[in-house]
Structure 1
Amino acid sequence: MQKPQTAVQRLGVFGGAFDPPHLAHLALVEAAVAQLQLDHVHVLPTGHAWHKPRLLSDAAHRVAMTRLAFAHVPQVVVDEREILRTGPSYTVDTLHELQSEYPQAQLYLLLGDDQRRSLSSWHQIGEIERIAIICAAGRDMAVRAWNKESGPAPTHPPLSDTLQARIRTLDMPLMPHSATDIRVLAATEQALTGLVSPAVERYIHEHHLYRPH
């Protein structure tokens, strides 16, 4: 990871499995950069995904795809710290590290709608709220996909009124992209046009990702 050389005042933090990174991820980051006037965004592929019901693709592939997906966004720093961290990887630990590295910066935690709805179950959510301003984007739940691989949509305790009121909403189009659906399409070598960037699509097909074994 190459750290920004200039003073950072507004730092976005966006984590996820990125298995694969898709266009809704890109749209969220671009909206956050524009609307929050972020100097940089640390995009962090998940390491040990203790909360995922399935094994993630190899970290090297997810990092490579993430670099391709965000290559044209100059504010993005692809940060591998959660990949390199041993044991369960918690967002609060990443925020503490970034706070130490950039003590003058305001941290903005960027979330997709699915992440926002699960916030009540996050490790040390109160500390996360203290450290960072939480900013979320919505997706159209009417068309959000859940298939046999992912199982029924998980349920989480409702967010407190206080936390809900403090979450900022990013203004961006509803994008019902699903990494699960993309993996299903890739498994049968179908086109992924309009779902992932052309570079990521080429990578998926060239490395035969998500094919049945």
Structure 2
Amino acid sequence: MRAARRIGLFGGSFNPPHLAHLALARVARDALQLDELRWIPAGDPWQKPASELAPAKDRAAMVSLLIEGEPGFVLDRIELERVGPSYSIDTVRALQARETSPSGAEWFLIIGQDQYRRIDTWRDAAQLRVLVCFAVAARGGESPRPPDAWAGQIHHRVVLPLARTDLSATEIRQRAAAGQPVSPLVGEAVARYIEQHRLYRVPPGL
């Protein structure tokens, strides 16, 4: 019997959330035997142009639709409710500070291998590697590499094997802008939301 809860943190702009996100989250939940996996939409992603983002309330609503009925998946609005840029270190510190389990928790930050490769550029990355175990998605059998600056630096990492996919949020936004169907990429519920709220449509005259 494990002494501590195992919590996964899965952050991103989710602009929009799609089936590749869902596949990764399922792999992480099952491989890491997570008690809970928190989906954390970024309020103000510091590495993304704000002009490309759907409103935060819409991105949160789409995440909620995508994960509905999935055991252990929870939508966490912590970054949507915080003013200013969304930094992972601030989120991790805040979540760990409010953890009330008597036996504590183990924390896993779920990221892609491209993010892992440049994670030394993140705010307070050296502190972040002390607070969490990085759960890195390895696509197509590739071996994730840490940043060169972390050579010889101790940190905890687990690899999540994931089937290779070319699915991207950029492609989905482009298809939605062109009025093309996106349900094979995001699922029926999210596709209906995008259509009903006319997300990612190009304004007339542009």
So what's the TM-score if we normalise by structure 1?
0.83
1:204 matched to 2:194? The reply is: yes
Compared CA separation, residues 198 and 158, structure 1 to 2 (3 A): farther
Alignment match, 1:119 = 119
Gaps of at least 5 residues in structure 1 are 1-6, 141-156
Alignment of 1:83-94 (within 5 A): 83-94=80-91
Q: Tell me which amino acid in the other structure corresponds to 2:27.
A: A
Greater fraction of residues in strand: 2
Q: Tell me which amino acid in the other structure corresponds to 1:41.
A: L
Q: Tell me which amino acid in the other structure corresponds to 1:115.
A: Q
Aligned counterpart for 1:22 among listed residues 14, 18, 21: 18
Rounded Cα–Cα distance in structure 1 between residues aligned with 2:47 and 2:97: 26
Identity in percent = 39
Rounded Cα–Cα distance in structure 1 between residues aligned with 2:124 and 2:191: 36
1:79 matched to 2:76? The reply is: yes
Q: Cα distance, 1:193 vs. partner?
A: 3.6
Does 38-47 or 92-101 show the bigger shift?
Answer: 92-101
Q: What are the Cα deviations for residues 136-179 of structure 1, in whole angstroms up to 9, with x where unaligned?
A: 11346xxxxxxxxxxxxxxxx64523469743210221122110
Rounded Cα–Cα distance in structure 1 between residues aligned with 2:160 and 2:12: 18
Q: Tell me which amino acid in the other structure corresponds to 1:79.
A: D
SS of the residue corresponding to residue 82 of structure 1 reads: coil
Aligned counterpart for 1:185 among listed residues 149, 171, 175: 175
Alignment match, 1:173 = 163
The question of whether the paired residues in 2 share the 8 Å contact of 1:11 and 1:41 is answered with yes
Q: Tell me which amino acid in the other structure corresponds to 1:112.
A: G
Gaps of at least 5 residues in structure 2 are 141-146
The question of whether the paired residues in 2 share the 8 Å contact of 1:8 and 1:40 is answered with no
So what's the TM-score if we normalise by structure 2?
0.86
Q: Cα distance, 1:70 vs. partner?
A: 0.9
Q: How many residues align?
A: 191
SS of the residue corresponding to residue 39 of structure 2 reads: strand
Query: C-alpha root-mean-square deviation of aligned residues, in Å?
Result: 2.0
Alignment of 1:19-58 (within 5 A): 19-55=15-51, 56-58=53-55
Compared CA separation, residues 126 and 207, structure 1 to 2 (3 A): same
Q: What are the Cα deviations for residues 65-113 of structure 1, in whole angstroms up to 9, with x where unaligned?
A: 0000111212111011101101112101111111112260000000123
SS of the residue corresponding to residue 182 of structure 1 reads: helix
The question of whether the paired residues in 1 share the 8 Å contact of 2:108 and 2:133 is answered with yes
Alignment match, 2:143 = none
